[in-house]
Amino acid sequence: MWVTGACGEYNEAQSAFRQYYAYSPCATVMTGVARPGLSRAGMLAISFAGFCTFLDLYATQPLLPLFETLFHATKAEAGLTVSASTIAVAMTAPFVGALGDRARRKSVIVLAIVALAIPTLLAATSPGLGALVFWRFLQGATTPGVYVIALAYVTEEAGPGRVGTVMAAFVTGTVLGGLSGRVLTGLVAAHAGWREAFVVLGIINLAGAAATWRWLPASRHHTPRARGAGPDAPLAGLRDRRLVATYAVGFNVLFTLVALFTYVTFYLSAPPFSLGTAAVSGVFVVYVVGAVATPIAGRFIDRVGPRNVIVCALAIGAVGALVTLAHALIVVIVGLAITCSGIFICQASATSYLRVAAPPALRALASGAYVTVYYLGGSVGGVVPGLVWERAGWTGCVVLVVASQLVAAILALCFWDRPAARVEITAT
């Protein structure tokens, strides 16, 4: 469809165009001037920002059995090295979202990556589990400065009809970051020590900050909002059922990811698998499958809309979780690969839909609210499955995850908009 001219006073035509514009890869701006999108270098830079965001966040997952033994801790106490970071993200994200519209996007992203490197390096000095949990909390507290602002940056700078594609590139960066953090931590800890693992991660963070500063374009479509503007902005997001449903879907995304990949480490380190630290960290290589699937899904998000894609992705994730119930290592790995692909596609769909549901003036705030609920899901995913584990083991954890996927699918079907039908709009 080609859109030309202006729609004048035809409100119905304007509404149809606005809805279609959110999904169409070939629509242009009403002024007749196509807004430029991100270059390849810009997409690489935003992917690198996503990489740094998730490099540290779950890096201790493959080390949980090691911490359990080294610090004479329970599984739940060792799990605090994961949940402390996600709780901190949930606590600080609203403030970052509220303040994010008052600062330049690129500056906030780069400074946040540098700030993330500091507690990462200091975690290597921890004398015990308590200190390590403290530094992990500070790592999480600095993360929203990258993640929240990057979400808003993508929705503003992607260009017409390319939000799904660019968001998928960002999510792919987070996927590769999460994979690299887990694998590097496990390998370095197995061969040098867990302290050295945090030093390696901190150095990578600093390199990532330099790369993002060099290649990420400055915002062209964002003007910092004046202090005090939009006093009722937080309430605006709560009144929109589409946004609330999107936040709930985000809760499910990280709940599922953390629940499965935290407790699968205990599942695989026990008989009949009895995997060691390095072998457990190697299981996270299944993230590569998600990294390949997500950019492909991004094109479908732009074509058929986030609603259709996320329902399919949730079904894929549920099937993969059920496959992990098999007592064969290769089958468990295949199930994890299927599940993480579905989860990453869900994340790309949900964050893309924020552009549809959130008004332009509130995108950073909406991103902050989304990240808060998203990481609350991760925090719950690090604790509640542990309680289920005590009664029903890995099977109970899988049933809990599948139930969560079903609820998320119902919310998306009930509250997310259907992609608008393609209509011809001509000059009058």
| Residue-wise pLDDT tens digits, 193-251 | 999 999 999 999 999 999 888 888 876 765 555 554 444 444 455 567 888 889 999 99
Confidence category of residue 396, pLDDT binned at 50, 70, 90: very high
In a domain, 289, yes or no: yes
Please give the distance of CA 188 from its chain centroid, rounded to a whole number: 25
In a domain, 8, yes or no: no
**Residue closest to 301 by CA, chosen among 404, 423, 169, 196:** 169
What pLDDT score does 407 carry? 93
- The residue-averaged pLDDT of 293-318 equals 85
In a domain, 293, yes or no: yes
Q: What is the domain extent for residue 103?
A: 38-219+238-415
* Average pLDDT of the chain, as a whole number: 79
Residue 29: phi and psi, rounded to 5, are: -75, 150
Classify residue 304 by its DSSP letter: H
Confidence category of residue 425, pLDDT binned at 50, 70, 90: very low
Residue type, 15: S
In a domain, 10, yes or no: no
Both tokens of 356, joined, read 């549809």
In a domain, 260, yes or no: yes
Are 416 and 353 contacting, i.e. CB atoms less than 8 angstroms apart? Answer: yes
What pLDDT score does 141 carry? 92
Helices (H), 58-193: 64-70, 75-100, 105-122, 129-142, 144-157, 163-191
In a domain, 421, yes or no: no
Choose between 422 and 348: higher pLDDT: 348
- The residue-averaged pLDDT of 290-310 equals 81
Please list, in sequence order, all residues whose beta carbon lies within 8 angstroms of the beta carbon of residue 256, skipping any fewer than 6 positions away: 317, 321, 339, 343, 381, 401, 404, 405
How far is the C-alpha of 385 from the C-alpha of 374, rounded, in Å?
Answer: 17
How far is the C-alpha of 395 from the C-alpha of 389, rounded, in Å?
Answer: 8
**Residue closest to 132 by CA, chosen among 200, 55, 199, 195:** 195
Length of the chain: 428
What pLDDT score does 18 carry? 35
How far is the C-alpha of 280 from the C-alpha of 266, rounded, in Å?
Answer: 9
Residue 203 vs residues 54, 62, 248, 279: alpha-carbon distances, Å? 15, 20, 35, 24
Residue 82: Cβ-neighbour burial (10 angstroms; 0-12, 13-18, 19+): buried
What pLDDT score does 428 carry? 28
252-261 pLDDT per residue, tens: 988 998 899 8
Q: Is 193 helix (H, G, I), strand (E, B) or coil?
A: coil
How far is the C-alpha of 333 from the C-alpha of 317, rounded, in Å?
Answer: 13
- The residue-averaged pLDDT of 140-161 equals 79
Both tokens of 272, joined, read 């009949």
Please list, in sequence order, all residues whose beta carbon lies within 8 angstroms of the beta carbon of residue 348, skipping any fewer than 6 positions away: 164, 167, 168, 171, 294, 297, 298, 301
Residue type, 270: A
Among 37-51, 128-142, 170-184, 273-287, which is the least confidently predicted range? 37-51
Are 297 and 168 contacting, i.e. CB atoms less than 8 angstroms apart? Answer: yes
Provide the domain count of the chain: 1
**Residue closest to 417 by CA, chosen among 237, 236, 243, 160:** 243
Helices (H), 324-360: 329-357
Residue 83 vs residues 118, 278, 324: alpha-carbon distances, Å? 19, 22, 23
Confidence category of residue 338, pLDDT binned at 50, 70, 90: very high
44-79 pLDDT per residue, tens: 888 888 898 889 988 998 898 899 889 988 877 888
For the full predicted model, state whether its pTM sits above 0.85. no
* DSSP state string for 47-74: HHHHHHHHHHHTTTGGGHHHHHHHTT--
In a domain, 424, yes or no: no
Helical packing angle, 144-157 and 105-122, nearest 10°? 150
72-127 pLDDT per residue, tens: 888 778 888 988 988 898 888 778 766 666 667 788 889 999 999 999 999 999 99
In a domain, 329, yes or no: yes
Residue 53 sits in a domain of what CATH number? 1.20.1250.20
